Structure 1
């Protein structure tokens, strides 16, 4: 029996996947300072609820892109949307839902951390006067500054200053949090705390945009990644998908390593022995073809997994290609 929904979608035809909801997007974004091009034709998609790591060498345009996204700088060309609002013209409607720590915090040096945060809280449109003390104390405790809140800001270490800036971004519940190098100056324990906070925000459904040069932290905390080089986006998408796409190898766990290698060669599939079995090169065959050939050849296949490249290797390959002007590999075109 044909239903009305079948007629609308076409019987036996899968409905197209819905487009991802975006918390932020840019199109054709460009920023020129006199004769210097800081950002050039950046198309960036930040999926709602994602933790997106923005990576790039110094001078790649990360901070400038973030400043335009938040309406702090007007683009030379292009379009910016933040939480469905055009920026910077509708910044007043979007920014109350956004917490941000950009280019390091700036506070009054002779006031305590608590007093600085209370002044910041007084400017929050969604905090009543009676709610400020509780909001301030909660934010201080969340970033681990409760015991040092009475100390003057001028006596804070760089890491403590970063924490206070993060506390300011978390004074009220946000739909999106933007963090520019949030672990700058933090010791390993502080870095783990920031990682935990980012994980909590993600679990709450908050979109997090993190600019960082610490690849290991991005790999540990982010669901998506965007790589910038020379002011342009050279790759973006789901982190797992990008890493998988960057790896042309299939690791096959088997006790029959020699037989597996011989079988691969008979099927003209390059391979080599590894401690757990064999590694098949996927540039000449697909993963199902490799498994089919091995099983047909009588090889005992215990486990098969795609070999993943590390984020550091992927980042180096992308930025090196961008630096020498060579064409980018296929992985760069993967999008979420």
Structure 2
């Protein structure tokens, strides 16, 4: 029996689709997530980035009420979790840790079962919703095949289709491109772009830097169970960018002129790279012009997400690569 009034929090002044405060999860002696304060802005495509074992999936499972936190609080679409799950989850589409379907049923039959379990789905709308979802993820031609015969990529597509059966306020995708070929990856990107254009908030977990950079407006970087950075992707990249690239035919002269004025500079295949930590772009240009250097073009050098990730994780005193560590496995104390 549902309570008359769902547990809610007031987020009108700071609209977020999901929020955690002091979130912590411990399995035995393993700290999987440690005091994470995460904000997922309404309408954003937030990429949760980190190596395998960084706590991404565990955090997502706690957001969705699949795992009970050891400590801390979770808010999902304005409802405190897990108490507000009955009100929040019908507005959420999720693909977490790979889909699970009946192996002897076809893809279409599995989706019919999923649609029948949707509390907001009108029975007469189920056939159309199933067909639209299959078409959207490129599975229409394989919808009649048994699930047990699906490839890993096809299984991922069917899981994504299940998350898209209804319009959602929030879509959560945990490694959605796992097992997909390049064409399938592009299709997932297109789906995410469509959701974003429609105003849906999307949370994408990935260890693939290029995918996050190509699809996301915001990013949250996790490492060893902790959140080491979060915010708008563009602002994070610009904050870590202190370089200027000068295109000139007088590279040696330009480097000498800048160094003589205590501006760190070095020659590159594309021209001259200038460190802006202690100077500004106008000062660099003025110095070069005064020195008689021909300046053809000046542009800020954009830091890539890979460089940003490396700096953030190096700050945590680690040299681990993205694929070095496995996700901690739940102990028998928590069967979910």
Q: Into which bin does the TM-score normalised by the smaller protein fall?
A: 0.7 to 0.9
Counterpart position of 2:241: 247
Counterpart position of 1:288: 282
Conserved 8 A contact 1:244-1:307: no
Conserved 8 A contact 1:244-1:306: no
CA–CA distance in 2 between the matches of 1:23 and 1:136? 26
Counterpart position of 2:65: 71
More helix by share: 1
Counterpart position of 1:216: 210
Residue correspondence of structure 1 range 263-302 to structure 2 within 5 A: 263-302=257-296
CA–CA distance in 1 between the matches of 2:40 and 2:289? 42
Deviation sequence 1:110-147 (CA, Å, 0-9, x none): 11110100000011111111000000000000000101
State yes or no: 1:144 paired with 2:103.
Answer: no
Q: Which moved more, 1:238-247 or 1:95-104?
A: 238-247
Counterpart position of 2:330: none
State yes or no: 1:305 paired with 2:292.
Answer: no
Deviation sequence 1:34-76 (CA, Å, 0-9, x none): 2221100101111111111111111111001001111111211
Bigger relative CO (Cα 8 Å, ≥ 6 apart): 2
Deviation sequence 1:89-111 (CA, Å, 0-9, x none): 11111111110000111111111
CA–CA distance in 2 between the matches of 1:164 and 1:264? 57
CA–CA distance in 1 between the matches of 2:138 and 2:23? 37
Which of 22, 30, 39 is equivalent to 1:36?
Answer: 30
Counterpart position of 1:82: 76
Q: Secondary structure at the match of 2:229?
A: strand
Q: How far apart are 1:251 and its partner, in Å?
A: 0.7
Counterpart position of 1:60: 54
Structure 2 portions without partners, runs of 5+: 1-11, 320-336
Number of aligned residues:
308
Q: How far apart are 1:211 and its partner, in Å?
A: 0.6
Residue correspondence of structure 1 range 309-324 to structure 2 within 5 A: 309-324=303-318
CA–CA distance in 1 between the matches of 2:269 and 2:158? 48
Deviation sequence 1:6-57 (CA, Å, 0-9, x none): xxxxxxxxxxxx9763211111111112222110010111111111111111
Deviation sequence 1:214-269 (CA, Å, 0-9, x none): 11111111111111111000111122222222233111223443443233123210
Counterpart position of 2:178: 184
Counterpart position of 1:4: none
Which of 130, 135, 144 is equivalent to 2:129?
Answer: 135
Deviation sequence 1:254-313 (CA, Å, 0-9, x none): 344344323312321011223443211112213333234334444443332221222223
Conserved 8 A contact 1:295-1:301: yes
CA–CA distance in 2 between the matches of 1:214 and 1:230? 17
RMSD: 1.9
State yes or no: 1:203 paired with 2:218.
Answer: no
Q: How far apart are 1:188 and its partner, in Å?
A: 1.2
Deviation sequence 1:168-197 (CA, Å, 0-9, x none): 000000111000011111111111111111
CA–CA distance in 1 between the matches of 2:67 and 2:97? 13
CA–CA distance in 2 between the matches of 1:97 and 1:314? 33
Structure 1 portions without partners, runs of 5+: 1-17, 326-336
